Chain A
Amino acid sequence: DAKTTQPPSMDCAEGRAANLPCNHSTISGNEYVYWYRQIHSQGPQYIIHGLKNNETNEMASLIITEDRKSSTLILPHATLRDTAVYYCIVTRRSDKLIFGTGTRLQVFP
């Protein structure tokens, strides 16, 4: 059973912030939210993860709601190279990653 729900596709203008939502209403207390992305047909690439606090790194920011039932991945200044499929995955830190179908983000000029 899928633990997350993501929109199948989104568009974003180059230079603008891309906000990718993810619903995970059945998340358990010891489960993390992970984001990976897959550019074209390459292998997935880790972006960011979090438990309950908001997180930021050089690639993106992760905003997790206080009830932890949803989260948003933010790419602050999207570029054409950010066009990819983005996967939101909820799992315990040592459990294996289960990928859903993700959100296909198209960044346009």
Chain B
Amino acid sequence: NAGVTQTPKFRILKIGQSMTLQCTQDMNHNYMYWYRQDPGMGLKLIYYSVGAGITDKGEVPNGYNVSRSTTEDFPLRLELAAPSQTSVYFCASSYGDRNEKLFFGSGTQLSVL
């Protein structure tokens, strides 16, 4: 049981480039989330999904897109990378909407230069 797996662990992008952060979970969780964490700050919710085919915006969705075609995968897309998107990105999942059951991945550290 791998839990929540994020790839890559580190990435450097140039301004204007695009990339997809991958997130997969093997716990058959229906809820999945993307958070970002800037240095010294708490986590901010970018997008979340309550099941395959259903996504919704969180606190800071601008500049990002998501899709949820399967229960296991919830990729996060950056179309035109900007320095403001330099952050650590965490994916999480839960079975249902119970906040005590969130499991987080180990994060992706992204730098946009």
Cα distance A36–B100 in the bound complex, in angstroms: 9
Among the 9-residue stretches A13-21, A76-84, A88-96, the one with 4 or more Cβ atoms under 8 Å from chain B is A88-96
B106 touches A96 (CB 8 A): no
Known A41-B88, A49-B99, A102-B42; contact A96-B105, beta-carbon cutoff 8 A: no
11 contacts between A and B (CB under 8 A): A34-B100, A36-B102, A42-B104, A43-B90, A43-B106, A46-B101, A46-B102, A96-B48, A98-B59, A99-B42, A102-B42
Q: Which residues of B contact A98 (CB under 8 A)?
A: 42, 45, 59
Q: Which residues of B contact A87 (CB under 8 A)?
A: 42
User: A interface vs B, CB < 8 Å?
Assistant: 32, 34, 36, 41-46, 49, 87, 89, 91, 93-102
Known A98-B45, A99-B44; contact A43-B104, beta-carbon cutoff 8 A: yes
Nearest CB to that of A43 among chain B residues?
A: B104
Nearest CB to that of B96 among chain A residues?
A: A94
B12 at the binding interface (Cβ < 8 Å): no
A99 touches B43 (CB 8 A): yes
User: B interface vs A, CB < 8 Å?
Assistant: 4, 33, 35, 40-45, 48, 58-59, 88, 90, 92, 97-102, 104-107, 109
Nearest CB to that of A97 among chain B residues?
A: B99
B29 to chain A, nearest CB (A): 14
- Other than A44-B102, A93-B99, give 17 A-B pairs with Cβ distance below 8 A: A36-B102, A41-B109, A43-B90, A43-B105, A44-B90, A44-B104, A46-B101, A46-B102, A94-B97, A96-B33, A96-B58, A96-B99, A97-B45, A97-B99, A101-B40, A101-B41, A102-B42
Cα distance A43–B25 in the bound complex, in angstroms: 14
Q: Which residues of B contact A93 (CB under 8 A)?
A: 97-99
Known A96-B33, A96-B58; contact A42-B99, beta-carbon cutoff 8 A: no
Q: Which residues of B contact A43 (CB under 8 A)?
A: 4, 90, 92, 104-107
A49 touches B100 (CB 8 A): yes
Cα distance A98–B104 in the bound complex, in angstroms: 14
B59 touches A34 (CB 8 A): no
